[in-house]
Amino acid sequence: MGQKEAHMRTVWWEDGVVKMIDQRLLPHQFEIVAFDNEHDVARAIREMYIRGAPAIGAAAGFGMALAAQRSQAATTEDLLNDLRTAYDVLYASRPTAVNLRWALDRMMALATSLREQPHQVVRDALVAEAQRIADEDIETNQRMARYGAELVPEGANILHHCNTGGLATVDWGTALGVIRMAHEQGKNIHVWVDETRPRLQGARLTAWELMQWGVPMTLIADNAAGYLMWSGQVDLVTVGADRIAANGDVANKIGTYKLAVVAKENNIPFYVVAPTSTIDLQTPTGRDIPIEERDPREVTHVLGQCNIAPEGVNAYNPAFDITPHELVTAIITEYGVVRPPYEENLRRVVEQAEAD
Ligand code: MRU
């Protein structure tokens, strides 16, 4: 079995194909898969070989680069038509994480801006742009991590939900990246890791990453989080985000809302760590964010195998929920820590990102 080396990325471009770690198999098997077309990349996103908002965005960027490379178009206009089709294929893969649309829009905008150029120029430029999206993601995460680590007190007990580490991004991580930075700075921290039913991203992926980084951690059943907060064993909660609406409402892994409510009740800071590519100013509030509904089999069967419910039971499986902005203490971005009023302050950081 292979192992993730310290600086191995979650998704990358190699010799004209996209490679990624197959996260469905972790932590028991470590396998790299390769795809040479956008349809397979869309399937890999839908079936969660790769997951986590920034990682999905980077994969989609590479998917567009593959489409450009594969296209038989003899003119730039025909190439743009093929790219529009690839955009739709990739866009349809998962609905909630807006980083997907952000990356696709960025790729399409570049292609359109080069419409007067020969088609080979556009193809090469798209490969380079997808690579830039991936490279920038790591830098962005490390900037967020430095801002976020300032909010982590020495000796803190941190509650974390889902997986927001190197695996959810190209490398380093968002909320887990803050934890990693605080640990590397020598702060004596400890992490309570929510298992994160039904797909167990916490138990399978976050625990695996924290153990590799040497960060002290304890795995808990999701249902233990409320008791730990009430009994004074949690100093802060950190989570990532799949989409942040213009008013600061946050879509994140199902179960996040419950944590935010209990954190507020117990006066525990609740921090969301997300790059500006996760902020969607076109979506006014959390009620306008599409919530992915996945196969109920993920609820009735643990890891698709062991059936834990009566045959034929009715099950429902929303993959994300909305945390209203009133429950969010601060949103940590690569442009600094954003606090209320969110409407105004989120717009400011997005404008800063666009100007850069
Ligand atoms: O369904 P997943 O595993 O893609 O959900 C991931 C999350 O909810 C993460 O918290 C979010 O994408 C932020 S990851 C940096």
Nearest Cα to 29, choosing from 187, 150, 205, 197? 205
Residue 202 DSSP label = I
CA–CA dist 9, 174 (Å, integer): 15
Q: What is the pLDDT of residue 5?
A: 74
Write the residue with the smallest CA distance to atom 8 of ligand 1: 253
- Residues 179-188, mean pLDDT to the nearest whole number: 98
Q: Would you name the residues annotated as active-site residues?
A: 242
The atom number, within ligand 1, closest to the CA of 239 reads: 10
Q: Is the per-residue pLDDT at 37 higher than 60?
A: yes
- Report the percentage of the chain scoring pLDDT > 90: 97
Pocket test for ligand 1, best of 102, 163, 238, 331 (most atoms within 8 A of CB): 163
**How does pLDDT run across 241-294, given as a tens digit for each residue?**
999 999 999 999 999 999 999 999 999 999 999 999 999 999 999 999 999 999
Is residue 322 left, alpha or beta, with left meaning phi > 0 and alpha meaning psi from -120 to 50?
A: beta
Within 6 A (CB) of ligand 1 lie: 51-54, 97, 162, 164, 168-169, 174, 201, 240-242, 252-253, 319
How would you class 266 by CB atoms within 10 Å of its CB: exposed for 0-12, middle for 13-18, buried for 19 or more?
middle
Q: What is the pLDDT of residue 327?
A: 98
Going from the Cα of 81 to the center of ligand 1, the distance in angstroms, rounded, reads 31
CA atoms 209, 253, 272, 52: torsion sign: positive
Binding residues for substrate: 51-53, 94, 201, 252-253
Q: What is the pLDDT of residue 2?
A: 60
HEC letters along 262-319: HHHHCCCCEEEECCHHHEECCCCCHHHCCCCECCCHHHHEECCCEECCCCCCCCCCEC
Residue 70 one-letter amino acid: R
Q: What is the pLDDT of residue 1?
A: 46
Q: What is the pLDDT of residue 304?
A: 87
Pocket test for ligand 1, best of 10, 11, 46, 51 (most atoms within 8 A of CB): 51
**How does pLDDT run across 154-183, given as a tens digit for each residue?**
999 999 999 999 999 999 999 999 999 999
Cβ pair 237, 259 in contact under 8 A: yes
The atom number, within ligand 1, closest to the CA of 165 reads: 15
C-alpha neighbours within 13 Å on the C-beta side of residue 333:
23
Binding residues: 51-53, 94, 201, 252-253
User: Does the predicted TM-score (pTM) go above 0.95?
Assistant: yes
Residue 297 one-letter amino acid: R
- Residues 115-130, mean pLDDT to the nearest whole number: 98
**How does pLDDT run across 323-352, given as a tens digit for each residue?**
999 999 999 999 999 999 999 999 999 999
Q: Is the per-residue pLDDT at 100 higher than 70?
A: yes
- Residues 216-245, mean pLDDT to the nearest whole number: 98
Supply 99's token pair.
Answer: 């980083």
- Report the percentage of the chain scoring pLDDT > 70: 99
Look over the chain and give the mean of its residue pLDDT values, rounded to a whole number: 97
